Structure 1
């Protein structure tokens, strides 16, 4: 304990006022609401989702659930309107339900997402009108029909927002009923796929089943990939130099703890830090340069909550 306190004291003494001010500035910047970045990310996610719907889902009649699935079916039944037009109608109805059964604070960005997604789908349909599927490869189109909305939704979900649509229905069910929301939404998606069987035949219907199964898996994987960080644990001969590199070179922080080796019974200062993949690579290269005998372990984690990472 005394050794660790001495190390911390030396680190504090070696830090200049300018360096401490820079560390405080970085910490405050990470804690401030991201504003423009948040708005850009939510629109990027919605735009990617819209491309998947307009270019791959709608031309192939891949009704995989949600408001896009309902709109694809309605567009087939009433061909005078495009999928984007029906998304405006369906989302407007869901927003009205949300305003009746939920408070405006709860709705939050969901209202914006509902109409923005409809606008993006309409814009893509206007810019790139398709009378037939983009390619002749149905499986390839299904992959993009699932992958693009999954990536887009993952970006939106990752910042704490939603893509609107059936999320409003989920919030209403959560507040006013005892139904399990996951099962309720799964049943609604299954009914949409069942309608696709009746309208488009077993071939397209089976593709819809396959897409529905893959959709959830892809979204989970995309979110984990976006959030993945490296939890790094380091034993080295000069932890002071390592900590200075982490703080001033990577603009991160670290935790120091004292451990005892099982073989020799020697006490070590262990440095633990959480980094992005790029920062972890820089850390590994730094250790290779100055201490080739350092012991480094990296563990992947997609659930890092706290300052500098995801908000609480």
Structure 2
């Protein structure tokens, strides 16, 4: 229950960050980075339909597509995220109606319109959810094609909306939108890599048992060891190899220092981890 509670709290927080970025910085400037919100900006410009109403309808359709291709759990988390986002956008429209951009600095608005939704999307992807919309299409593309980067799949999926912006809005808006889509993809990729960062750890030590016990019993991770000899002293030692999250690596380092163990520890950052205990690559 705590795991699911934590997951849905993170989804709610991420959607709130995204809603602020979309409503206050993206919609007023007609920035079209793709996605349902980008399409909503086009629809709101061309028809009497509001951006939030179109977002709600489109998200429902794409949610069904996600359920078919990505599974029940994904549909549940994404469905919840879509409902929260639609509700928050509607509430913001009621309590904070906007007649134009918040500032007269388009580049400043662009930075917030990129950063807030991109960070929120990366957090959602990391917990197995999305904000709905074309994120669903991007995840399907990633799953069923040779494109193994969510950011790249999202860029290709949303590029069409940016091209459409050239014909609906002025050239400056279209150029800003293309820059925004490119930077958004890069930010999502960078944030995801930072979140998924793990530490591949190599330890040369005299006593293997305390370290292996701590890794297996306290951190609940696996470890591999092998006997070895020091090249200079020719004394016997052990080499221990394990892969941990950044927080777990800090705990192991603190344990070695606290116990005054004679150990040499080397850590290498990695995001490509396959195997039990690591559900991402």
Residue 52 of structure 2 is matched in structure 1 by 84
In the alignment, is residue 40 of structure 1 matched against residue 9 of structure 2?
Answer: yes
**Equivalent residue for 2:89?**
121
Q: Does 1:256 find its partner at 2:237?
A: no
TM-score by length of 2: 0.79
Mind listing any 5+ residue stretches in structure 2 that lack a counterpart? none
Query: What TM-score, normalized to structure 1?
Result: 0.73
2:22–2:117: 8 Å Cα contact kept in structure 1? yes
* Contiguous gaps of at least 5 residues in structure 1: 1-31
2:107 alignment partner, one of 139, 142, 147: 139
Give the count of matched residue pairs.
Answer: 278
SS in 2 for 1:122: helix
The answer on 1:58 being equivalent to 2:27 is yes
Structure-2 change in CA distance of 1:308 and 1:188 (3 Å): closer
Shift of 1:170: 5.4
Q: Please name the residue that 2:180 is paired with.
A: 211
- Corresponding residue for 1:148? 116
> CA separation of 1:170/1:228 partners in 2, compared to 1, >3 Å: closer, same or farther?
closer
Taking the TM superposition and a 5 Å limit, the aligned residue runs for 1:52-201 are 52-78=21-47, 80-95=48-63, 105=72, 108-109=75-76, 110-169=78-137, 186=155, 189-201=158-170
**Helix, strand or coil at the partner of 1:59:** coil
> Deviation of residue 142 (structure 1)?
1.4
Paired residues of 2:59 and 2:133 also in contact (CA < 8 A): yes
Q: Check conservation: 2:130, 2:136, Cα contact below 8 A.
A: no
Aligned residue among 213, 231, 236 for 2:205: 236
- State the alpha-carbon separation in 2 of the partners of residues 123 and 179 from structure 1: 40
Q: Report the 3-state secondary structure (helix = DSSP H, G, I; strand = E; otherwise coil) of the residue aligned with 1:161.
A: coil
SS at match of 1:303: coil
Distance across 1 between alignment mates of 2:20 and 2:193:
22
Q: Measure how far apart 1:283 and its partner are.
A: 3.3
Distance 2:261 2:267 in 1: 16
Deviation at 1:230, TM superposition (A): 1.7
